[in-house]
Amino acid sequence: MLGAQALALPAINQFGHDLRSVALTQPALYAVEAPGQLARVEDSGRAPDFVAGHSLGGYAALFAAEAFDFATGLRLVQKRGGLMGAVSGGGMMAALGLPLERLRDLLATDPALSAVDLSPTRSSARSAPATC
């Protein structure tokens, strides 16, 4: 939406806030996404049969599903952004469609790797330090 103009925006605003901080970007994105859901309903004249979202988009989907009002969603997203911003030494995540035994073999190759979620549907997740 902002296109090339977004590249020219300063990283630090006049109040000294880092605009790249997830504590600020998370609520800002929600403030655009959530009302966007309402606009789509208004434009089309009908509510969706279902809504879904991934990560931060899940909050906009919950808002669209009327699970909570805009202000409640904003408070949740502000808390989420603050918690995410407080974490240091982040890492990476990969979703793998591997059998459990193959995943165990991979995890055994590097002690820095760890399985964080194992799904009974033959998919699993693996995490690694940010230096990978």
CATH number for the domain harbouring residue 15: 3.40.366.10
Asked whether residue 68 falls in the same domain as residue 118, the answer is no
Asked whether residue 113 falls in the same domain as residue 58, the answer is no
For 15, the token pair is 């109040």
Spatial CA neighbour of 60 closest among 36, 28, 84, 78? 36
Asked whether residue 54 falls in the same domain as residue 117, the answer is no
Instruction: Pick 18 or 50 by higher pLDDT.
Output: 50
Helix (H) or strand (E) holding 129: strand 124-129
Asked whether residue 26 falls in the same domain as residue 81, the answer is yes
pLDDT recorded at residue 10: 57
Tally of domains within the chain = 2
Range of the domain at 49: 3-86
Report how far residue 101's alpha carbon sits from residue 121's, in angstroms, rounded to the nearest whole number.
14
Asked whether residue 44 falls in the same domain as residue 107, the answer is no
| Tens of pLDDT, residues 3-21 | 444 445 556 656 666 666 7
pLDDT recorded at residue 15: 62
Kindly report the number of other CB atoms within 10 A of residue 46's CB atom. 9
Asked whether residue 67 falls in the same domain as residue 39, the answer is yes
